[in-house]
C-alpha cells in the first residue's frame, strides 16, 4: 500500500513538470487552453461541436480528442473544419501532460487562439492530472444526478467553471438544481456555473460569451509579459 502511494506521488510529480512546460508553451503562443472533463455520455463532444460552431467566426480553434479507443469523436469535431488531433490512450482512463506535450508537436500553436482538450470520459483521475491547461471545465449532465458532485468532489473542486448540460431533460429526470448549486458551492464557492443544452442551444450564449472573454484575458496576459 505504502509503495503504491509513493509511486502515485512520483507519477504526479513527473506529470507536473510536463504540465508546466506545456503551460509555458501555450502562453508563449497566447493560446487559451481548456481541459474538458466529464463522465462518459455527459455530452463533451456535443458541447464542443456547438461551441466551435458558435466560436469559429471569432476565434481560431484547435481540439485534442482523448479517447480510450476509436476516432469517432475526432471525426465529428474535424467535420466542423477545425484542426483536430486524436490521442488514443489504449486503455488508460485519463490524459497526462506528457501525452499532450507529444501531440502538440503536430499542432501549429501560433495559428490558434483556443485549444480545447477533450479528456477521456471519467470523473476520477483526470482531476489529478494537470495537463498545463489554463482553464478546467467540469461538465455534468442532468441525466447523471446532482449527487455526482458529492461522489466525485475533486473534479468540481479543481475546476474553473462548471457546466450543467442537458437542461432540456430536466422535466424528465430527478435532478435537484438547488441541491446541485449548494453542493458545488461547498467545494468551490466562487465558481461560475452555466446551465445549458448543447443539444438545442439553450443557455449557450452565456457560456460562449464567458469563453470569449477568457480568451481575451489570456491575450492581454501574454502581451503584458
Ligand atoms: Mg466525446
Ligand atoms: Zn485514469
How confident is the model over 88-127, as pLDDT tens digits?
999 999 999 999 999 999 999 999 999 999 999 999 999 9
Centre of ligand 1 from the C-alpha of residue 100, in Å:
17
Looking at the CA of 66, name the nearest ligand.
Answer: 1
Q: In what order do the strands lie in the sheet with 61-67?
A: 83-88, 61-67, 114-118, 32-37, 135-141, 161-165, 193-195
C-alpha to C-alpha distance for 195 and 10, rounded to whole angstroms = 37
Helix, coil or strand: residue 36: strand
pLDDT value at residue 9: 83
pLDDT value at residue 8: 80
Neighbours of ion ligand 1 (CB under 5 A): 44-45, 73
C-alpha cell at 51: 461551441
Q: What percent helix, strand, coil does the chain show, rounded to 5?
A: 50, 15, 35
Mean local confidence (pLDDT), 22-26: 97
Looking at the CA of 92, name the nearest ligand.
Answer: 2
What phi and psi, each to the nearest 5 degrees, are found at residue 166? Answer: 65, 40
Helix, coil or strand: residue 52: helix
pLDDT band at 1 (very low <50, low <70, confident <90, very high): low
Amino acid at each position: 500500500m505504502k509503495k503504491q502511494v509513493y509511486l502515485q506521488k512520483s507519477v504526479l510529480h513527473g506529470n507536473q513538470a510536463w504540465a508546466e512546460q506545456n503551460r509555458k508553451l501555450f502562453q508563449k503562443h497566447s493560446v487559451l487552453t481548456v481541459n474538458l472533463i466529464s463522465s462518459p455520455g455527459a455530452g463533451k463532444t456535443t458541447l464542443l461541436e456547438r461551441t466551435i460552431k458558435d466560436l469559429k467566426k471569432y476565434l481560431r480553434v484547435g481540439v485534442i480528442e482523448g479517447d480510450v479507443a476509436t476516432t469517432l469523436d475526432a471525426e465529428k469535431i474535424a467535420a466542423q473544419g477545425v484542426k483536430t488531433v486524436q490521442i488514443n490512450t489504449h486503455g488508460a482512463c485519463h490524459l497526462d501532460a506528457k501525452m499532450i506535450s507529444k501531440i502538440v508537436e503536430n499542432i501549429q500553436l501560433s495559428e490558434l487562439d483556443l485549444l480545447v482538450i477533450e479528456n477521456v470520459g471519467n470523473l476520477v483521475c483526470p482531476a489529478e492530472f494537470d495537463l498545463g491547461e489554463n482553464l478546467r471545465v467540469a461538465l455534468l449532465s442532468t441525466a447523471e444526478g446532482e449527487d455526482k458532485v458529492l461522489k466525485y468532489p475533486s473534479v468540481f473542486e479543481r475546476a474553473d467553471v462548471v457546466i450543467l448540460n442537458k437542461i432540456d431533460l430536466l422535466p424528465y429526470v430527478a435532478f435537484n438544481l438547488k441541491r446541485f448549486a449548494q453542493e458545488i458551492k461547498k467545494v468551490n464557492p466562487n465558481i461560475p456555473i452555466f446551465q445549458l443544452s448543447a443539444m438545442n442551444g439553450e443557455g449557450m450564449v452565456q457560456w460562449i460569451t464567458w469563453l470569449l472573454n477568457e480568451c481575451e484575458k489570456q491575450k492581454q496576459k501574454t502581451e503584458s509579459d
